[in-house]
Structure 1
Amino acid sequence: MASNIEFSSLQRIPLAYATCSIGCGPSDTLPRKLEAIAQAGFVAIELSFPDIIDYGSHVLGHSIEPDNYAEILTVTREIRKLCDANGLKVMMLQPFANFEGWAKGSPERQNAFERALGWIGIMKVVGTDILQVGATDTPASKISTARDTIVADLRELADLLAKHKFRLAYENWCWSTHAPGWKDVWEVVQAVDRPNVGLCLDTFQTGGSEWGDPTTQSGLIENVSQEELRKRFEASMCELARSVPADKIYLLQISDAYKVSPPLEDKTIDGLRPRGRWSHDYRPMPYDGGYLPIEDVARAVLKTGFRGWFSMEIFDAGPQGKGKKYEMDAFAKKAMENMQKLLKSCATDCNK
């Protein structure tokens, strides 16, 4: 674990932007998104599957079913051209969800592996080697959350990806059924024990699972005192910095969270748990109204020695989650400025 974080080392960190994280209306098409991201100085994107489907409807003139991979691959070839024209690399394909835990022989498990093969085809076309897999949020009543089952499924997926020299970036979603915290997914990754399986860490997901709570008045986890919460969080970040090898982190996603007022109802609505709804609509960029200790998370990741991808992944529908209008070029530029501010704030040799 590195105690010092030199700013000069942070200047070589490659910066990406998730395509699902920009745009606030039908006119904000994928080509415009890519232009805004590139003009702001980002060098790569996380390509979001919904953006492929949406752009496909413009290219082909009709809606595309999410399992029609023949049409999807036609669209992704056009997206690859757009990325090349804007000087952007596709760093990762996301979000591959609800994969693990299905019963053997079930149609859901068959569908999960059919999706995996389809997404591998997309990865080949767009030129990325990383598939983001979110720790499933399928209810425990429908899947097995037994660790050996989860591990076996992910190991099988990892071996499919390895045939193409692709990697699996496993992410804790703070509302996940079985792995809401960074330590949960790290334990799974260690058990999977494949060289092409690592972590997709996220400042929101970590702060949102161990510090914040959108269902409380304070916005904090309230089953312990604030002093105890602070101590626990500090200990967790120290453990992350000490225990995770840098080469097992594939990227760090960057976003903050609004303190929701009034708090969200503490129940599942439209299939989304409170933290899932929080994640969907209440995630601004750093220094733009959020309150989570995201600098602490980023600093812990950097203390591992990691200097790989930092990627902006925000879902900013405003403090009330009802929508936010903005011009994309200015928004992307501000995202870059705030990303640079975050990096400088994490350095131990800069005047704050």
Structure 2
Amino acid sequence: MVLSSEQQLFSPAVPRLQSSTTTKMPISRASLNDIPLSYASCSIGCGPKDTLPRRLEAISAAGFTAIELSFPDILDYGLQLTGESISPVDYPKIISVAAEIRKLCDSHRLSVMMLQPFSNLEGWPKGSTDREEAFARATGWMEIMNVVGTDLLQVGATDTPEPAISCDREVIVADLRLLSDLLAKRKYRLAYENWCWSTHAATWKAVWEIVKAVDRPNCGLCLDTFQTAGSEWGDPTTTSGLIEDVSQSDLRKRFDASMQELATTVPAEKIYLLQISDAYKVSPPLENKTLNELRPRGRWSHDYRPMPYDGGYLPIEDVAKAVLKTGFRGWFSMEIFDSGPKGDGKKYDMGPFAKKAMDNMQQFLTNCATE
């Protein structure tokens, strides 16, 4: 894989309709052979016996070469090692645990591609305790990044509701610019992601406009097939599983136009990774209200996200094709939260499950090729 100068600087059922998206760049299958493949550590396992060491073993055996390391996994492994819960702000202990995780990864020939998920950074009032705590947390997470050997921090577009946070674009941009500058001192990067239930940036275009405004060489995008299709195509609160403010034909046209815009306006070097997952069509639909502090799309994201070709219905290939048409050939990372079609749990053996995830990822790449 050839890296850009920027990457070198900062690297360490609803039927699926065919897209009419036009091509900025053809996608040959051969060009996808060297795409590096990662797996989010938090998105495999279905019980307390599926510990982090066993998860890493399954991920490595399936052929993935890196993980997205989840912060809650660090805390959980700390409990396993010490028998005591670790405070999420006790960074000396957390860093000690992270060092042990680095050793585990090394033993399984896995690198840590990214630390995630950093949430609710931007938009807090200046001088507020919440803002101070958010940036203190960022400083602590940078120490973890140093120990585990990653240069990439995922930041999800905040889902704290107004008026607790401001959605003023200048405030959002200023906060992310400050974080980018702090990360740049260590030659670290910020991967900004649209969460489809975000308060202020639920779509790929919303986060891209923010990243452009931040205007820092180490601030780019974490794109996600679920988050993109889940914000612009699907809706877990409708019987059809689709957004219903327009007809299905108009929805298709609108979605195709969005993917065309992504393919032709986002530079490949500003995309740091693409996360891969699908979604179940929820039946009966989720109630259209906030429960346990989660909006419907947030609940959908947490429990109803299978791997490709395992029961989902979103046009995830269209999202990946749009990303690949930019020329991007960086990380594809499996991030699935599969609690079954009813969201009430799913039992499986991690070894075969991880192998199936790799097989389906390869099929996904094949299906995304256009020549």
Q: Is the shorter-chain TM-score for this pair beyond 0.5, marking a shared fold?
A: yes
Structure 2 letter corresponding to 1:26: P
Distance 2:327 2:55 in 1: 32
The one of 343, 346, 350 aligned to 1:321: 343
Match of 1:346? 368
Q: List per-residue Cα deviations over 1:2-50 (Å, max 9, x = no partner).
A: 4310100000100000001100000000000000000000000000001
Q: Is structure 2 residue 331 aligned with structure 1 residue 335?
A: no
Equivalent residue of 2:64, what SS?
coil
In structure 2, what is the Cα distance between the partners aligned to 1:35 and 1:26? 16
Aligned pairs (5 A) from 1:210-289: 210-289=232-311
Q: 1:348: how far off?
A: 1.3
Say if 2:316 is the partner of 1:294: yes
Q: C-alpha distance in 1, partners of 2:31/2:111?
A: 22
Amino acid at match of 2:245: N
Q: Distance in 2 between matches of 1:201 and 1:315?
A: 17
**CA-to-aligned-CA distance 1:60-118 (integer Å, 9 cap, x gap):** 12011111101100100000000000000100000000100000110000100110000
Matches within 5 A, 1:135-284: 135-284=157-306
Q: CA deviation at 1:333?
A: 0.2
Q: Give runs of aligned pairs for residues 64-79 of structure 1, distance below 5 A.
A: 64-79=86-101
Q: Equivalents in 2 of 1:88, 1:156: separation in Å?
A: 31
Distance of 1:334 and 1:347 partners within structure 2: 20
Separation in structure 1 between the aligned mates of residue 144 and residue 25 of structure 2, nearest angstrom:
40
AA in 2 matched with 1:330: P
Partner of 1:60: 82
Q: Which residue in the other structure is 1:12 paired with?
A: 34
SS at the partner of 1:290?
coil
For 2:236 and 2:242, locate their aligned partners in 1 and report how far apart those are by CA, in whole Å. 7
- Give 4+ residue runs of structure 1 displaced > 6 Å after superposition: none
Q: 1:324 is aligned with what amino acid?
A: K
TM-score, normalised to structure 2's length?
0.94
Supply the distance in 2 between the matched residues of 1:303 and 1:51 (Cα, whole angstroms): 34
Instruction: Work out whether residues 25 and 327 of structure 2, in 8 Å CA contact, stay in contact via their aligned partners in 1.
Output: no
- Residues 184-220 of structure 1: CA deviation (Å, up to 9, x unaligned): 0000000000000000000000000000000000000
Once residues 156 and 257 of structure 1 are traced to their aligned partners in structure 2, the CA distance between those partners, rounded to angstroms, is 34
Count matched residues: 349
1:311 maps to which residue?
333
Q: Distance in 2 between matches of 1:73 and 1:94?
A: 15
In 2, distance between residues paired with 1:160 and 1:59? 32
1:111-122 to structure 2, matched below 5 A, reads: 111-122=133-144
**Counterparts of 1:344 and 1:259 in 2: how far apart (Å)?**
24
**Structure 2, gaps ≥5 residues long:** 1-22
Name the aligned partner's letter for residue 260 of structure 2. Answer: C
Distance in 1 between residues matched to 2:24 and 2:66, nearest whole Å = 27
Structure 2 letter corresponding to 1:172? N
The residue identity in structure 1 corresponding to 2:127 is: G
Q: What is the aligned counterpart of 1:107 among 129, 148, 153?
A: 129
Aligned position for 2:17: none
What amino acid is aligned across from residue 269 of structure 2 in structure 1?
A: D
Q: What SS is found at the alignment partner of 1:319?
A: coil
Q: Offset at 1:319?
A: 0.2
Aligned equivalents of 2:282, 2:72: Cα separation in 1:
26
1:116-135 matched pairs, under 5 angstroms: 116-135=138-157
Secondary structure of residue in 2 paired with 1:221: coil
State the percentage of identical aligned residues: 74
Q: Secondary structure at the match of 2:38?
A: strand
> Gaps spanning 5+ residues in structure 1: where?
none
Distance across 1 between alignment mates of 2:200 and 2:99 = 36
* Letter paired with 2:191: A
Whether 1:82 and 2:100 are equivalent positions in the alignment is: no
Q: For residues 223-281 of structure 1, what are the alpha-carbon distances to aligned partners after superposition, in whole Å with 9 as ceiling and x for unaligned?
A: 10000000000000000000000000000000000000000000000100000000000
SS of the residue aligned with 1:38?
A: helix
Aligned counterparts of 1:330 and 1:115: Cα–Cα separation in 2: 37
- Matches of 2:109 and 2:238, distance apart in 1: 44
SS across alignment from 2:153: strand
Aligned partners of 1:337 and 1:210: how far apart in 2? 27
Specify the code of the residue in structure 2 equivalent to 1:214.
P
- TM-score (normalised: structure 1): 0.99
Quick one: distance in 2 between partners of 1:338 and 1:72? 34
Structure 2 Cα separation of the partners of residues 258 and 38 of structure 1: 27
